[in-house]
Amino acid sequence: MIAVTHAPWAHAETRWQLDARAGGAWNVPLPTVVRQEAHPDVRLTARWRTRAFEYPLYYGWRVTRWRDTAGWALDLVHHKLHLEDPPPEIQRLSISHGYNLVTLQRLAERRGWRYGGGLGAVVSHPESEVRGRAFDEHGGLFGAGYYVSGPTVGALLGHSRAIHGRLDAIGELRLTVSYASAPIAGGAVRVPNLAVHGTVGLGWFVRR
């Protein structure tokens, strides 16, 4: 009993933090395949734009349970992809109501520097018209057009600074590697994504 009482973790302080971020991302051009029934595959090196400040906006939020200088977090990045210069077969292709990256993260912080990584899933909301066939955006989860589409993994480095009471300013860089298979009318599009994200925001401690 004495050993438990004096163990280092017995006195660790638990804190909850909520943060919200805005920013943008740069996407590495990668091979993409569009498959549609009764037609040959369309293969291209896709150049995706995030268009972070066009509606719907790029954003992120996170809930973190800190225990001293380490924490577990549930994180969402509302990432967006718009295909630039599509071939003639594709009239429109975007995943702009979210190439959402939902991850469970392990974080650590030292002298204001924050680092860690996470693993999770891509939840996509595709919008497309391929060979004149528009995709119905009312399917998927809850009939809202969302689909669990594949895995994602990421690493981050950031810095936080107390600005007033329980409020912190947060800046962050993140590298994400993701894969999604999203539906189109009569088929699917395979969308791997390698992206570098930069965000700034605010974090609020439920109690500091």
User: Tokens in use for 10?
Assistant: 């017995």
> What CATH code is assigned to 13-205?
2.40.160
List the one residue out of 51, 147, 141 whose CA is nearest residue 100: 147
Of 143, 160, 138, 149, the closest CA to residue 21 belongs to 160
Give the pairing type, strands 147-164 and 133-134: unpaired
CB 51 within 8 A of CB 81: no
Per-residue model confidence as pLDDT tens for the chain (208 residues): 333 334 444 456 899 999 999 999 999 999 999 999 999 999 999 999 999 999 999 999 999 999 999 999 999 999 999 999 999 999 999 999 999 999 999 999 999 999 999 999 999 999 999 999 999 999 999 899 999 999 999 999 999 999 998 999 999 999 999 999 999 999 999 999 999 999 999 999 996 5
| pTM summary value | 0.91
CB 147 within 8 A of CB 183: yes
d(CA 36, CA 129): 11
Tokens 């595709």 correspond to 126
Angle at 112 between CA 200 and CA 204, to 5 degrees: 55
- pLDDT value at position 208? 59
Contact in structure between 60 and 76 (CB atoms under 8 Å): yes
